[in-house]
Amino acid sequence: MQTMLAARLHAIGEPMELEQVPVPEPRSTDVVVAVKACNIVPNLKNVLATYAEWFPYLPLPKLPAVFGLDAAGVVTEVGEQVTGVSVGDRVYVNPGLSCGGCRACRRGEDQNCDDYTFMGYFAFGPGGQRLFDAYPYGGLAEYLTAPQQNLVKLPDTVSFEAGARFGYLGTSYSALRKAGAGPGRTVLIDGISGTLGLGACLNAVALGATRILGTGRNAALLDDVKAIAPDRIDVLPAGTADVRDWAREHNDGDGVDIVIDALGPGAPAESFLHAVSALRRGGVAVDIGGMMERPQLDLFAMMCAQQSVLGSLWFSTGEAQEMAELAGTGALDLSVFEHHVFPLEEINDALDEGLPARHGGFTNFIAAPQS
């Protein structure tokens, strides 16, 4: 039996154990992927640190478990029913699993499946463990298995390290698509220099948004974001001006079409309300950051102005493939990322404050199980 190196969590609060486990075999419609890059997403530490008290409605896998949310690599084996995917294909693995049989799944709305589950991370419903059992390998192992319909083919110009960023990138891509981002539209991104926000900025540029406005806490980081497209991007250090007035000043006196709230769970509700106040009539605010505070929305005013608020979770494999194509043409510029790659053996050190300071969303921490 062939074995592989995997980092497995056996007990809450303990380091992951680096151990040899059998290389998985693909079932008939699955593939095996050799993991070249797996993102160490900023939230993984929070998940592991709060394991015992983690949100009960977002079930975590039974231990021992292999974590690792966003993986990219090379297909090494395909099941007998797999078509359109070949050994040697460079792919990003969309970790979002759905049951396949419920009403939402049959409509093609994977993320609305009651059992929607991120392999190597956590689930959104009580049926998650069944999917963890079916796909027990996250990206912190040398190989993983995945359904063929979860694969995003990477253009040759997209590195595995950049591919491993597709989770955070795709989350903002889907949000922008739902909100109708494109030519003639203005997008305001709350938290533009963070991991999610920077992806939203790059995707807004790629989708042709005419003007992109962004707020953030760190003025130096904001300057680096503006440098991506100085003619189209304007930035505001948070708290230095009224967001509504500032947005109009930079948008020909008009409100914005789209707000993307990319601030993290700890952000104050007030910042979301400020961003919403910058919307024009008919505007859409999309939350992707998962703010925990509850904003007091003026729904009467929002009704009168036909404004809406959306929650957007992750993305479809189809949307991620579109994004890959945009990256392949160069419209989506992924060259701004600063990849810090370390071997899988160093995962515990990396999670235990062993990573260098982040340069905001530009930083991309990558474990490379197969370098």
Report the residue number, 38 or 99, with the smaller CB distance to Zn ion.
99
Q: Is 331 in the site for Zn ion (CB under 5 A)?
A: no
Question: Strands of 279-287's sheet, edge to edge?
Answer: 233-237, 211-216, 186-190, 256-261, 279-287, 308-311
| CB nearer to Zn ion: pick between 99 and 332 | 99
The two structure tokens encoding residue 160: 């595995």
Are the C-beta atoms of residues 66 and 137 closer than 8 Å to each other?
Answer: yes
Near Zn ion in 203-262, by CB under 5 A:
none
Hey, which bits of 56-163 come out as E strands? Answer: 65-66, 70-78, 90-93, 96-97, 117-118, 143-147, 151-153
Q: Which of 113, 119, 275, 285 binds Zn ion (CB under 5 A)?
A: 113
170 with 93: CB under 8 angstroms?
no
Site mask, Zn ion, residues 42-81, x = CB under 5 A? ----------------------------------------
User: What does the block give as tokens for 65?
Assistant: 């478990």
Q: Which stretch binds Zn ion (CB under 5 A): 109-117, 245-253, 278-286, 358-366?
A: 109-117
Sequence-ordered strand ranges (E) for 67-138: 70-78, 90-93, 96-97, 117-118
Task: Say if residues 37 and 71 touch (Cβ distance below 8 Å).
Answer: yes
Q: Applying CB under 5 A, which of residues 34, 47, 74, 105 lies at the interface with Zn ion?
A: 105
Nearer to Zn ion, 72 or 131 (CB): 131
Contact between 102 and Zn ion (CB under 5 A)?
Answer: yes
What are the distances in angstroms from CA 258 to CA 119, 204, 324, 333? 31, 10, 23, 21
Q: Which of 16, 69, 99, 131 binds Zn ion (CB under 5 A)?
A: 99
Question: If binding is defined by CB under 5 A, does position 307 make contact with Zn ion?
Answer: no
Stretch that binds Zn ion, among 108-116, 180-188, 245-253, 361-369 (CB under 5 A): 108-116
Q: Minimal distance in Å, beta carbon 84 to Zn ion?
A: 23
Report in angstroms how near the CB of residue 132 gets to Zn ion at its nearest: 15
* Smallest gap from residue 174 Cβ to Zn ion (A): 18
Q: Both tokens of residue 63?
A: 């231990």
Task: Pick the closer one to Zn ion by CB: 74 or 102.
Answer: 102
Q: Kindly write down the DSSP assignment for every residue of 223-275, as one continuous string.
A: HHHHTTSTTTEEEEETTSS-HHHHHHHTTTTPPEEEEEE---TTS-HHHHHHH
Which residues, at least 6 apart from 250, have a Cβ–Cβ distance to it below 8 Å?
211, 213, 234
Q: Which stretch binds Zn ion (CB under 5 A): 103-111, 202-210, 240-248, 272-280?
A: 103-111
According to the binding rule CB under 5 A, does residue 154 interact with Zn ion? Answer: no
117 contributes a contact to Zn ion by CB under 5 A: no
For Zn ion, the binding residues (CB under 5 A) are 98-99, 102, 105, 113
